[in-house]
Amino acid sequence: MSHEPFETLAAVYAVGALDGDDLAQFEAHLPTCAVCQAALREAQDALARAMLSTPPQAPPAEAREALVRRVGRARGADRRSWLTWAAATAVVAAAAAGFTGTWVAVRYEARLGQMARETAAVKERLARNEASLREQVALYRGAVELLRDPATRVVDLRGQGPAAAASGRMIWNDAGGGHLFVAGLPPTPAGKTYALWTIGGGIPRPAGLFGVDAAGRATHRIAPASAGAPARVFAVTVEPEGGVPTPTGPIVLASK
Amino acid sequence: MPTPGRDLIRAMAAGNRDAFAPFYDTSAPRVLPFVLRIVRDRADAADILQDTFWETWRGAAAYDPSRGTPEAWIITRARTRAIDRVRAVRRRGETFVAPVDEAGALAQLSGAQREVVELAYYSGLTQTEIAERLEQPLGTVKTRIRLALARLREVVTPP
């Protein structure tokens, strides 16, 4: 008889389904055949791993306690010499830690990963909030500094055309620059932005680009102008995102 | 894959009672669903789990690493007890326990392969009984089991 049929019998034996003549034949063959012993061992190992691949379930706690107590009372320590016992004991702590550690790792890896990601996100958000707060404080401080100067003017801007509901207030100092606060401006269309113009001697000069938040508000800092006539009039227009040297779009806010 | 469970079994074999609780706590929750899968009854499954783990404590010295992994050692013992219970139920004339939808590695087998493994391993049918139930030649059943195990080995072996 060739060996091939035995390999099939080994598989059927592994799942516990061998019967009749096949069983007798295989059990007679097995002790003499290292190939079949290895095949059986591998099949049983694969089966065990497959069977243990479903999600674990904790056994009833009382059952566990009862069994651990039963083992605790059992005769056992005298089964081997004291030395063997001591040697084996030494590995227990490490083995238990390893076994449990692997187990805990598998179980909580996903959760820990998620927590780490959440923590990172919170940190990032906090850092962003802090930066934004610092920025705002610096801005208001700058505005307050400007207001101390008697030469500083406060100019109201009114909404124009489709943005009639918008309003703005400019704190302006010809030497120190200014701060523009706006409210009620609609979001700009894609590819567009708001542009501020300072107008002195009839010539509009670009004074920066800004966008508005979801509530239509914005604060915009204007650096001191280095040259040109003192600004008398202020206006906001809708312009292409890159900005333009002279106003091209519709005016949405303007001072009197 | 090195199995720390092997060290715990060695310690239990040497009579170290402290090795039992960690061994139980890491293995029993994985063995319970398997036993439950066979016997379907929580009380029966809990009983079988108790007997199986008591036996691992008493028989730890007989564990031979060269003959298989700790997992195979435990599962084989748990299955023998669970199948005895299922066969006793069948002998009392109660209905055959049909396999349920499979989770885990068995779900990776084809329907026909999974069926023969489940009928054998979970329901405790022999190859002859499976052939009768499925109305298939005995040779077909044997081949199917062999192919199913080959596939299972691929599934559970890390690449």
Which residues, 6 or more positions from A136, have their beta carbon under 8 angstroms from its beta carbon? A219
Per-residue confidence at A109, pLDDT binned at 50, 70, 90?
A: low
Distance from CA of B159 to the nearest CA of A (A): 14
Residue in chain A nearest B11 by alpha carbon: A88
- Give all strands (DSSP E) within chain B, no chain letters: none
Mean pLDDT throughout A106-120? 62
To the nearest whole percent, how much of chain A has pLDDT over 90? 30
Q: From the candidates A7, A8, A12, A18, which should be mutated to test the interface with B, based on the most B CB atoms within 10 A?
A: A12
**Mean model confidence pLDDT for chain A:** 82
Query: Where is average pLDDT lowest: A89-103, A211-225, B70-84?
Result: A89-103
Average pLDDT of span B65-76 = 89
Tell me what pLDDT residue B68 has. 87
**Given this model, what pLDDT does residue A139 score?**
76
pLDDT at residue B2 is higher than 50: no
Mention every residue, 6+ apart, whose C-beta is less than 8 A from residue B90.
Answer: B96
pLDDT in tens, A26-39: 999 999 999 999 99
Per-residue pLDDT reduced to its tens digit, A151-184: 888 899 999 888 888 999 998 888 888 889 999 9
Q: How confident is the model at residue A85 (pLDDT cuts 50, 70, 90)?
A: low
Contact A57 B33 (CB under 8 A): yes
Q: Are B68 and A46 in contact (CB under 8 A)?
A: no
Q: Provide the pLDDT for residue A137.
A: 79
Of A57, A74, A78, the CB nearest to B32: A57
Provide the shortest C-alpha distance from residue A220 to chain B (in Å): 59
- pLDDT computed for residue B95 by the predictor: 52
Higher-confidence position of A54 and A153:
A153
Average pLDDT, chain B: 85
Give the pLDDT confidence score for residue A145 in this predicted structure: 82
Length, in residues, of chain A: 256
Q: Is the pLDDT of residue B69 over 80?
A: yes
Task: Note whether A252 and A166 are within 8 A (CB).
Answer: yes
Q: Predicted confidence band at A88 (pLDDT cuts at 50, 70, 90)?
A: low
Q: Are B153 and A50 in contact (CB under 8 A)?
A: no
Mean pLDDT of the region B92-106: 61
Within 8 A of B126 by CB-CB distance, chain A residues are 17-19
CA distances from A198 to A157, A236, B17 (A): 12, 9, 87
Specify the amino acid at residue A193: T
**Interface test with chain B among A22, A75, A92, A107, by most B beta carbons within 10 Å:** A92
Contact B128 A43 (CB under 8 A): no
In the numeric block, which tokens belong to residue A143? 């505005």
- Contact across the interface for A79 and B69, Cβ inside 8 Å: no
A8 and B143: CB-CB below 8 Å?
Answer: yes
Distance from CA of A116 to the nearest CA of B (A): 26
Instruction: Kindly determine whether residue A45 and residue B75, on different chains, have CB atoms separated by under 8 Å.
Output: no
Look at residue B92 in the predicted model and tell me its pLDDT. Answer: 64
Query: Residue B23: what residue type?
Result: F
CA distance B90 to chain A (A): 16
